[in-house]
Structure 1
Amino acid sequence: MNDKQAKELIAKFLIQQASAAELDALMLWLQDAKNEQLFSSYVQTNYAIEHQMRQFDPNRLKTKLQLLMDEDIKAVKRKKIRKIISYSAAAVVTVLLATGYFLQNNSFNKPIETTPRIISNNINIGSNKATLTLEDGSQVALEKGNTYQTPNASSNGEVIVYGADKSDGARAVFNYLTVPRGGQFHLVLSDGTEVWLNSESQLKYPVNFINGQTRKVDLVYGEGYFAVSPSTEHEGAKFVVSNQSQEIEVLGTEFNIKAYKDEANIYTTLVEGKVVLNTETAKRVLQPSQQLNLNLYDNSMEVATVNVYNEISWKDGVFSFRRKPLVEIMKVLSRWYDMDVIFEDPELEKAGFNGVLDKDQKIEDILNTIKNFKVIEDYEIVNKTILLK
């Protein structure tokens, strides 16, 4: 593939128009290390925006953009798109953000000239880290560079994997995996189920599941993405995730649960398969691309169809924000960067922002991106606190 073909393919990928075959070609091309750098460069210079500006008139582009924003990523492409993003997550702002801004303002405005005031900056990018609590209460720090090995579990500092044990014992032994602010971690349970835990989350789970019994784990708090090993591979044993006021029963599927301690709602998003949600007062079945919002104040439930990738992109190394108010965006960023955010003007909390941001960026880069699109006028950093102006 020559450079011109690569540019065209990258542009189609960014505007979500690449076919399955084209995604395959792009993944193959990205396997060459030098092409990863080229990919990042094209994204950062907004090639896709220029490409679209040359080929479509504004009215047609505006209509097309709206359709793209309203349409969920097709399941047949989703995993390929995730893999491409994992090769090079340097898409600092997607074509949707920048083009949407262009259409709204009729031009790309120059960055604001004011210089942010950084008195001291102790804010670090999040990383793979967690604390493993064993049944006897002892704790093990898991982080990149540290290995951990027992007869039934091993960790390289980025993932902990439990070995299968066809146990017929009458009692399960439980561990806790706690991910702090500024962290994330990947877990493989003894049945092969994979769990990705986001910042400020805790999962309780058995070291081994008992044959013939329901496989059950407890998301104590926080956010987790579950790729459940099918019941057909475990003698029909169901898999249940318990969380505060609800239980989720699955046979083999992928879904995301967001249930933070400081939020009054629990969001369950189904990626593929089928799940049954049970509360004390109701029972609901979710289909792919549906999200259930459980209000903890009144125990009410609301089901809506959502763009799944916006809800689960965190586990693939990017933040995907669509029509999100700044207060919600900063809550997400605060957990990943382990920082505090203060709004100088409460009205600023309502300001909206659309974009896809790389989780490996420094916080200043993200703030400058938001600033350059005039969502904020300026910011200040003191130690681990950000003041938005």
Structure 2
Amino acid sequence: MISEKFQNIIIKYLNKQASFMELEALEKWLEEDASHQKYFINYVKINYLIDLNVKEFDTQLAQQKLEAFIKKEKKVHKLKRTSVFLKYAAAIVIGIVSTTYFLKDELFPTQQNNSRTLEASKSTIEVGTDKAVLTLEDGSNIALTNGNSIQTKNATSNGKEIVYSNNTSTKSAIAYNYLTVPRGGQFFIKLSDGTQVWLNSESQLKYPVSFIDGELRKVELVYGEAYFNVSPSTQHKGSKFSVINKSQEITVLGTEFNVKAYKDESAIYTTLVEGSVAVAFDKNNQKLLPNQQLKLNISNNSSSIKTIDVEDEISWKNGIFSFRKKSLEDIMKVLSRWYDLDVKFENNALKNAGFNGIIGKDQKIEEILEIIKNYGILKEYEIKEKTVILK
């Protein structure tokens, strides 16, 4: 496998941070062995969201182009003593913009008839999209899909998001709506107080169409995952904002945080991005600091707090799957929700196989499986209708 040393150099090289000595080391390493070239391509495919049409670095032309590009870079690069790792999705996207020309157009010639190119998908598994079902206070349902605009007496939607009008309620007039996002979907909602919520696949949010002025603003994450950017209490006469679910309640004044509470998982994860939150459960009250995550085991109410890279945790709302030190079982659970598919492991040992990678949510499931396979984790996979079989 590729060593950590050369992973670091490749990352710095792709972000124009590599020193002259590092570029020379990379050039020498690539010339040493054809397997190094293969590892280089696989590493870039997995970590930079680039859909390459070849599985191997095995053409003389490709090698010549890479060597020429590195030599050119060596002439213009200066030593930079800056951070070498990409921790944020935004930085990764910037890296893609600056390297796509080199990696796709310059390094790899177009191969119309390349036998190794993935064949067009014949399965019924589709990439997830913006869609949800809105349940109004009278119990009626409205399908929200991309390109389909709707308007209710309290909100408007363009099929990608729903925005509620800014108004207040009285206790006698308060009404609730539900927004349900199915498997294979995602949706954005702006509540009447200005709070922004991103809902992940297989999630449901219950909320008032308008809040009572000056009183606690409360919503319920019935199940699933949601990212909240809460409108500050200073704009609402000091009223706090609360997110409840079956096992805990989160109270904030105004902040950004992520809650993951899926029905088929044994724990609830609350991750604070900025500001502060208090999480109450079973007579306990835990306060979180930015970059901390509270894990609550719902079977026995035990809890733990750890510091994490929040960008990995919230990358889903930015169109990216970020898998760091994740088992294949956990990864497939995420993919099953986004692609609305079922997963079968023929070899149970695969469930614990580890994988690190950053992959675009707009990729076909076949492309992602091929990447995982090329990385040596899978021997084979098969797709039967909406079931993925891992071998």
TM-score bracket, normalised by the shorter chain, equals 0.7 to 0.9
- Kindly indicate whether the alpha-carbon contact (under 8 Å) linking 1:120 and 1:382 is maintained by their aligned counterparts in 2: no
Question: Which residue number in structure 2 is paired with residue 349 of structure 1?
Answer: 351
Question: Which residue number in structure 1 is paired with residue 124 of structure 2?
Answer: 122
Question: Which residue number in structure 1 is paired with residue 61 of structure 2?
Answer: none
Deviations 1:170-216 (A, max 9, x none): 34100000000000000000000000000000000000001121000
Q: What secondary structure, in the 3-state scheme, does the structure 1 residue paired with 2:244 have?
A: strand
- Kindly indicate whether the alpha-carbon contact (under 8 Å) linking 2:49 and 2:360 is maintained by their aligned counterparts in 1: no
Relative to structure 1, is the Cα distance of residues 380 and 131 closer, same or farther in structure 2, using a 3 angstrom cutoff?
same
Distance 1:200 1:42 in 2: 24
- Kindly indicate whether the alpha-carbon contact (under 8 Å) linking 2:11 and 2:85 is maintained by their aligned counterparts in 1: no
Q: Which of 1 and 2 has higher RCO (CA within 8 Å, sep 6+)?
A: 1
Q: How does 1:201-220 map to 2 (within 5 A)?
A: 201-220=203-222
The aligned amino acid for 1:265 is: A
Q: CA deviation at 1:377?
A: 1.0
Relative to structure 1, is the Cα distance of residues 316 and 388 closer, same or farther in structure 2, using a 3 angstrom cutoff?
same
Deviations 1:123-165 (A, max 9, x none): 0000000000011110000010111112320000000000001
Distance 1:324 1:43 in 2: 21
- Kindly indicate whether the alpha-carbon contact (under 8 Å) linking 2:205 and 2:223 is maintained by their aligned counterparts in 1: yes
Question: Which residue number in structure 2 is paired with residue 329 of structure 1?
Answer: 331
Q: What secondary structure, in the 3-state scheme, does the structure 1 residue paired with 2:169 have?
A: coil
Q: CA deviation at 1:12?
A: 5.5
Question: Which residue number in structure 2 is paired with residue 58 of structure 1?
Answer: none
Figure out how many residues of one structure are paired with residues of the other and give that number. 318
Question: Which residue number in structure 1 is paired with residue 302 of structure 2?
Answer: 300
- Kindly indicate whether the alpha-carbon contact (under 8 Å) linking 1:204 and 1:220 is maintained by their aligned counterparts in 2: yes
Q: CA deviation at 1:168?
A: 3.7
Q: CA deviation at 1:16?
A: 11
| 2:248 matches 1:242 | no
| 2:316 matches 1:314 | yes
Q: What secondary structure, in the 3-state scheme, does the structure 1 residue paired with 2:314 have?
A: helix
Question: Which residue number in structure 1 is paired with residue 60 of structure 2?
Answer: none
Relative to structure 1, is the Cα distance of residues 132 and 305 closer, same or farther in structure 2, using a 3 angstrom cutoff?
same
- Kindly indicate whether the alpha-carbon contact (under 8 Å) linking 1:217 and 1:240 is maintained by their aligned counterparts in 2: yes
Relative to structure 1, is the Cα distance of residues 328 and 232 closer, same or farther in structure 2, using a 3 angstrom cutoff?
same
| 2:282 matches 1:251 | no
Deviations 1:328-356 (A, max 9, x none): 00000000000011111000111111000
Distance 1:379 1:201 in 2: 28
Q: What secondary structure, in the 3-state scheme, does the structure 2 residue paired with 1:192 have?
A: coil
Relative to structure 1, is the Cα distance of residues 83 and 274 closer, same or farther in structure 2, using a 3 angstrom cutoff?
farther
Distance 2:191 2:16 in 1: 34
Relative to structure 1, is the Cα distance of residues 303 and 135 closer, same or farther in structure 2, using a 3 angstrom cutoff?
same
Q: CA deviation at 1:309?
A: 0.7
Among candidates 354, 375, 378, match of residue 377 of structure 2: 375
Question: Which residue number in structure 1 is paired with residue 159 of structure 2?
Answer: 157
Q: CA deviation at 1:167?
A: 3.2
- Kindly indicate whether the alpha-carbon contact (under 8 Å) linking 1:170 and 1:210 is maintained by their aligned counterparts in 2: no
Structure showing greater Rg: 2
Distance 2:14 2:356 in 1: 15
Q: What secondary structure, in the 3-state scheme, does the structure 2 residue paired with 1:333 have?
A: helix
Q: What secondary structure, in the 3-state scheme, does the structure 1 residue paired with 2:168 have?
A: coil
5+ long unaligned stretches in structure 1: 1-9, 19-39, 56-63, 95-112
Q: What secondary structure, in the 3-state scheme, does the structure 1 residue paired with 2:324 have?
A: strand
Distance 1:152 1:170 in 2: 17
The aligned amino acid for 2:308 is: V
| 2:292 matches 1:287 | no
Relative to structure 1, is the Cα distance of residues 84 and 166 closer, same or farther in structure 2, using a 3 angstrom cutoff?
farther
Q: How does 1:5-24 map to 2 (within 5 A)?
A: none
- Kindly indicate whether the alpha-carbon contact (under 8 Å) linking 2:12 and 2:85 is maintained by their aligned counterparts in 1: no
Q: TM-score, normalised by structure 2?
A: 0.74
Question: Which residue number in structure 1 is paired with residue 149 of structure 2?
Answer: 147
Q: What secondary structure, in the 3-state scheme, does the structure 2 residue paired with 1:371 have?
A: helix
Relative to structure 1, is the Cα distance of residues 84 and 236 closer, same or farther in structure 2, using a 3 angstrom cutoff?
farther
Relative to structure 1, is the Cα distance of residues 42 and 228 closer, same or farther in structure 2, using a 3 angstrom cutoff?
closer
Distance 1:187 1:264 in 2: 27
The aligned amino acid for 2:187 is: F
Deviations 1:63-113 (A, max 9, x none): x99x848xx65xxxx7x548859x97x99xx9xxxxxxxxxxxxxxxxxx9
Root mean square deviation, CA, Å: 3.5
- Kindly indicate whether the alpha-carbon contact (under 8 Å) linking 2:49 and 2:358 is maintained by their aligned counterparts in 1: no
Q: How does 1:22-171 map to 2 (within 5 A)?
A: 43=50, 68=85, 73=88, 81=91, 121-171=123-173
Relative to structure 1, is the Cα distance of residues 223 and 251 closer, same or farther in structure 2, using a 3 angstrom cutoff?
same
Distance 1:162 1:82 in 2: 33
| 2:236 matches 1:273 | no
Distance 2:92 2:233 in 1: 26
Q: Sequence identity, in percent?
A: 55
Distance 2:309 2:17 in 1: 16
- Kindly indicate whether the alpha-carbon contact (under 8 Å) linking 2:49 and 2:359 is maintained by their aligned counterparts in 1: no
Q: What secondary structure, in the 3-state scheme, does the structure 2 residue paired with 1:121 have?
A: coil
Structure 1 residue ranges (4+ consecutive) displaced by more than 3 angstroms after TM superposition: 10-18, 40-47, 80-85, 113-120, 166-171
Q: CA deviation at 1:166?
A: 3.2
- Kindly indicate whether the alpha-carbon contact (under 8 Å) linking 2:145 and 2:159 is maintained by their aligned counterparts in 1: yes
| 2:183 matches 1:186 | no
Distance 1:16 1:180 in 2: 41
Q: CA deviation at 1:119?
A: 10
Q: TM-score, normalised by structure 1?
A: 0.74
